[in-house]
């Protein structure tokens, strides 16, 4: 049995059948020596007969008349036997003689089961029930069997509906595994299976985004890497022909640019696949900004000391990219301001440039995106800034201010306390 819904369904049915059988067995064997209601009734009939019948020394005609009247009133077959089992009087169909030993009880005969009872004067009364006597356990078993059948019929659509959703989820997983990254499953209900379907859809969406980002990264990286490689190839040819040292320095500059680009591509790819920081520590954002700002001429750092929690190396890369973006694409002076706003730390980098057009303020954070007529860099600097900020629970936006149209703002959660 390889189908889950059949396993669940037959488990329910088997459990109900087991309940019916156990209940019947307990009723049948657990009553001990106690009498059933039918036996109690027949014993009462025998007791009443002992009072209604004439004494043993009464004439046979009187005993026959009394037995006939009693059988007619009870609507059953009745017979009276002597102590030794000799028939004395009878009414109705023929009844089997009482047992020679014992105190009576059920007897089997051609006319159906009969009940024998010894009277106080040692005579025997044998009576046949007006209809076949059925053990009371049979009625209970039949009732429970009907309940089991109703539960079995009602449980099947519930069990089948549950496993059908699991089968659809399995189909979605197989479709996703076959390479269709757009595969999703419908979410039905609010139970565990529905939550599992939601988790699958979120995972599939995340996988699709990651694969799409990696494909775009690979396509853009292959395009961007060709430029410095072409310049290096051309520089080598010119250096070989002219022996001019200026081409050597140009080759070295292109190699450094290529190395920086590869480092940014690898970092962007790693951050895409990272859901949490590998290590965290308290970081003084103002001190880190001053350390990074000292690398650039004409960069001023000001503000108040604020502490954030994160990976110092990544936060340093974030600040460096912001300052380098301002120095490369803006105009002096470049200023870095560190402060706090409510429960977040604020890092702002401004320069004297015209700023980023409003239509481009979100697109500049896309990998390999450049503004028009911008030929410097690979377009990964600001994309890394936003990735690092969001990995630390913050964000990065273009936030021009009066007097400072070129301003990039990063917010990060402050360390509590």
Structure tokens at 173: 């997983």
**Rounded Cα gap, residues 250 and 272, in angstroms:** 33
Phi, psi of 335 (to 5 degrees): -130, 140
Q: Tell me how far apart the alpha carbons of residues 116 and 128 are, in angstroms, rounded to a whole number.
A: 9
How high does pLDDT run on average in the chain?
80
Q: What is the pLDDT of residues 187-206, one digit of tens each?
A: 877 777 788 888 888 888 87
Per-residue pLDDT, 160: 74
Cα separation, 380 vs 321, whole angstroms = 9
pLDDT at res. 56: 81
Percent with pLDDT over 90 in the chain: 17
Q: How far is CA 14 from the centre of its chain?
A: 27
Residue 255 CB contacts under 8 Å (≥ 6 apart), including other chains:
228, 232
Higher pLDDT, 325 or 140: 325
At 223, list the tokens.
């395009």
**Residue 104 predicted with pLDDT over 80:** no
Which pair of tokens denotes residue 176?
């996703």
Contacts of 269 (CB under 8 A, 6+ apart): 214, 217
Q: With contact defined as beta carbons under 8 Å apart, do 78 and 71 qualify? A: yes
pLDDT of residue 136: 57
List, in sequence order, every beta strand (DSSP E) within 169-319: 281-284, 299-303, 307-310
Distant-in-sequence, close-in-space partners of 62: CB < 8 Å, separation ≥ 6? 54
Give the whole-angstrom CA distance, residue 211 versus residue 181: 9
Q: At what angle do helices 192-242 and 245-272 cross, to 10 degrees?
A: 180
- Band of the pLDDT at 375, cuts 50, 70, 90? low
**Distance between CA atoms of residues 98 and 74, nearest Å:** 20
**127-131, 261-265, 339-343, 358-362, range with the lowest pLDDT:** 127-131
pLDDT at 410: 95
Residue range 198-215: mean pLDDT, rounded: 80
How confident is the model over 294-313, as a mean pLDDT? 91
User: DSSP state, 243?
Assistant: -
Determine the Cα–Cα distance for residues 60 and 296; give it in Å rounded to an integer.
138
Q: How much is the pLDDT for 1?
A: 46
Give SS3 for 18: helix
pTM for the structure as a whole: 0.49
> CB count, 10 Å around CB of 357?
12
What are the phi and psi torsion angles at 58 (to 5°)? -70, 155
Q: Judge contact between 412 and 308, C-beta under 8 A.
A: yes
- The tens digit of pLDDT for each residue in 120-141 reads 788 888 888 655 555 555 666 6
Q: What pLDDT does 308 receive?
A: 94
Residue 32 pLDDT grade (very low, low, confident, very high; cuts 50, 70, 90): very low
Residue 41 CB partners (closer than 8 Å, separation 6+): none
Query: Band of the pLDDT at 278, cuts 50, 70, 90?
Result: confident
Is there a cis peptide before residue 333, judged by omega within 30 degrees of 0? yes
The encoded tokens of residue 93 equal: 């169909």
CA distance 413 to 394: 6
Nearest CA to 89 out of 123, 121, 44, 51 is that of: 123
Long-range contact pairs involving 63-69 (C-beta distance under 8 Å, separation at least 24)? 63/88, 63/89, 64/88, 64/89, 67/91
Average pLDDT for 220-230: 68
Task: Say what the pLDDT of residue 376 is.
Answer: 58
């Amino acid at each position: 049995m390889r189908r889950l819904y059949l396993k669940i369904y037959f488990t329910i049915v088997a459990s109900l059948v087991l309940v019916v059988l156990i209940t019947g067995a307990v009723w049948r064997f657990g009553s001990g020596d106690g009498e059933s209601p039918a036996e109690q009734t027949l014993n009462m009939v025998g007791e009443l007969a002992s009072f209604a019948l004439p004494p043993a020394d009464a004439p046979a005609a009187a005993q026959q008349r009394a037995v006939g009247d009693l059988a007619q009133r009870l609507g059953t077959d009745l017979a009276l036997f002597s102590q030794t089992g000799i028939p004395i009087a009878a009414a109705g169909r023929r009844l089997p003689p009482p047992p020679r030993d014992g105190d009576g009880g059920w007897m089997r005969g051609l006319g159906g089961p009969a009940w024998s009872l010894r009277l106080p004067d040692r005579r025997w009364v044998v009576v046949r029930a007006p209809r076949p006597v059925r053990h009371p356990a049979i009625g209970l078993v039949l009732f429970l069997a009907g309940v089991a059948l109703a539960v079995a019929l009602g449980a099947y659509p519930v069990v089948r509906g549950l496993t059908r959703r699991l089968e659809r989820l399995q189909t979605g997983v197989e479709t996703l595994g076959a390479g269709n990254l757009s595969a999703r499953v419908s979410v039905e209900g609010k139970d565990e299976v529905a939550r599992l379907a939601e988790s699958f859809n979120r995972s599939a969406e995340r996988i699709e985004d990651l694969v799409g980002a990696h494909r775009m990264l690979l396509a853009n990286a292959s395009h961007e890497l060709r430029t410095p490689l072409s310049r290096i190839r051309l520089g080598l040819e010119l250096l070989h022909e002219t022996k001019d040292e200026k081409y050597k320095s140009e080759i070295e500059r292109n190699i450094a640019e290529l190395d920086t680009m590869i480092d940014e591509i690898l970092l962007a790819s790693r951050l895409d696949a990272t859901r949490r920081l590998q290590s965290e520590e308290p970081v003084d954002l103002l001190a880190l900004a001053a350390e990074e700002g000292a690398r650039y001429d004409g960069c001023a750092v000001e503000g108040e000391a604020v502490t954030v929690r994160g990976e110092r190396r990544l936060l340093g890369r974030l600040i460096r990219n912001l300052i380098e973006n301002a120095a490369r694409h803006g105009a002096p002076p470049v200023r870095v301001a560190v402060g706090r706003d409510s429960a977040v730390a604020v890092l702002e980098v401004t320069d004297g440039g015209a700023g980023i057009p409003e239509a481009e303020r979100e697109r500049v954070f896309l990998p390999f995106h450049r503004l028009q007529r911008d030929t410097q860099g690979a377009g990964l600097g600001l994309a890394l800034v936003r990735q690092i900020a969001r990995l630390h629970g913050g964000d990065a936006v273009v936030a021009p201010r009066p007097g400072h149209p070129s301003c990039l703002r990063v917010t990060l959660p402050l360390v509590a306390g």
